């Protein structure tokens, strides 16, 4: 029962961060929200008895791809302001 409540609240958080990621005007917030979607999805995979997938999603979806997004944001912004 407790895990069902955790799963449902995780789902709500995932959907809220996904909408934030897609609709916000601030690119930094969007990238962080997209990373948050992956991070909470990885907790969801753990509840779905998929630890392998959870590890991959946590390391790649929320770690490496967020870093790549930030490198690109920095590259694209650095020219604009300076």
CA 14 vs. chain centroid, Å, equals: 8
Cα–Cα distance measured from residue 50 to residue 77, given in angstroms and rounded to the nearest whole number: 38
Q: Which of 2, 5, 43, 61 is close enough to bind another protein by CB under 8 A?
A: 61
Asked if 44 is part of the footprint of another protein (rule: CB under 8 A), the reply reads: yes
Q: What is the dihedral of CA 8, 60, 77, 14, to 10 degrees?
A: 0
Asked if 53 is part of the footprint of another protein (rule: CB under 8 A), the reply reads: yes
CB neighbourhood size of 43 (10 A): 17
Using CB under 8 A, list all residues that contact another protein. 3-4, 7-8, 11, 14-15, 18-19, 21-23, 27, 30-31, 34, 37-38, 41, 44-45, 47-57, 59-61, 63-65, 67-69, 71-76, 78-79, 82
């Amino acid at each position: 029962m407790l895990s069902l409540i955790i799963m449902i609240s995780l789902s709500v958080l995932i959907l809220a961060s996904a909408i934030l990621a897609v609709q916000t005007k601030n690119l930094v917030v969007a990238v962080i929200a997209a990373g948050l979607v992956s991070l909470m999805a990885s907790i969801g995979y753990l509840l779905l008895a998929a630890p392998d997938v959870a590890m991959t999603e946590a390391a790649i979806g929320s770690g490496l791809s967020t870093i790549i997004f930030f490198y690109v944001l920095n590259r694209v912004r650095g020219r604009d302001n300076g």
